[in-house]
Structure 1
């Protein structure tokens, strides 16, 4: 009698596993396809795949998640720059450039944060109102990307070459790349709506 009950349960478990696997493949396929259109596709896939359950196949959720990844990366970079600014061995010009960079990253954080909130408004509106909210998001994310790129301006010239500039550039490049990807996904969402 036990064998009669166990066999159907085993088949049910296999069906559930296969269905779950197919759904997961569909979602990861959606993320991969969406990321193929951005400037940094492998970074896009790598940074968004952990959120596949949240994203599903929603262009709006994909854009929101990409902005959230940008925000998280910006917060991490801000913390890094704050720590670096307190380093005792900095030259005055390096300390000044890091301070300027911190301001740019803070501005970027503010704009990305506003964009996430504004994108939520897009879920509740249509037509011209959607276009208005989406235009705000696109403008703020684009400005955030400009802020991130402007950060490195203070490190120009041969006297600024070295480990500090290299480490700051690595942090800023990482943020700028995920923000660039987020902007591309936001633009894609705007076109589909």
Structure 2
């Protein structure tokens, strides 16, 4: 009986220690996300978007940046789905239909650029030499291109009533991508200051 009690006590102690360390690491990740998001334009959206990735991010700048890019892709894909639903609407005027199709095309370009960025970010190795700076520079360029494509999409929809039905979603995606670029730039500063 004493052996069972000892075993049970050790099991409970182990669970308590594991729970405590998990809570501690989650708190550290949350603090890291909040601190990092202070450097973005849309801080509340940044924290809200990245909080779900806390366990993957930990305190890694690269994981944080990768999560921000992945979140951006997810938001844009959702926008494209909404735009495709709008494209099917029979009440659209010819110019509205063209705007939606142009917007879908631009948002797809944006997704492509961001997916390339995520893959390029994965190429970063431990040494912060010339190749790493090139990879980070490519990521910066592609995320900037993604933002341009999103801005083109938002600007192409000019009809006020039509724009209001999708504008919020498009702006939300744009804000998340703008935040991702800020985090990419933050990561890049670590690589550009290193000597090869």
TM-score (norm 1): 0.91
CA distance in 2, matches of 1:188, 1:136: 14
Where in structure 2 are the equivalents of 1:11-90 lying within 5 Å?
11-90=13-92
Tell me the CA shift for residue 176 of structure 1: 0.4
Against the structure 1 CA distance between its residues 15 and 81, is the aligned structure 2 distance closer, same or farther, given a 3 Å change threshold? same
CA distance in 2, matches of 1:9, 1:75: 45
Select 2:112's aligned residue among 91, 110, 129. Answer: 110
Tell me the CA shift for residue 15 of structure 1: 2.4
CA distance in 2, matches of 1:5, 1:104: 61
Instruction: Write out per-residue CA displacement over residues 41-75 of structure 1, whole angstroms, 9 at most, x where no aligned residue.
Output: 11111111111111111100110111011111111
Instruction: Write out per-residue CA displacement over residues 77-100 of structure 1, whole angstroms, 9 at most, x where no aligned residue.
Output: 111111111111111111111111
Structure 1 ranges of 4+ moved more than 4 A: 2-5
Select 1:92's aligned residue among 80, 91, 94. Answer: 94
CA distance in 1, matches of 2:145, 2:69: 13
CA distance in 2, matches of 1:124, 1:8: 39
Count of aligned pairs:
189
SS across alignment from 2:123: helix
Unaligned runs of 5+ in 2: 192-196
Q: 9-18 or 147-156, which moves further after superposition?
A: 9-18
Tell me the CA shift for residue 152 of structure 1: 2.1
For the pair 1:150 / 2:148, whether they are aligned, the reply is no
TM-score (norm 2): 0.89
SS across alignment from 1:122: coil
CA distance in 2, matches of 1:133, 1:10: 47
Tell me the CA shift for residue 189 of structure 1: 0.9
- Whether contact under 8 Å (1:70, 1:175) holds in the other structure is yes
User: Cα RMSD (Å) of the superposition?
Assistant: 1.6
Where in structure 2 are the equivalents of 1:168-187 lying within 5 Å?
168-187=166-185
- In structure 2, the partner of 1:161 is 160
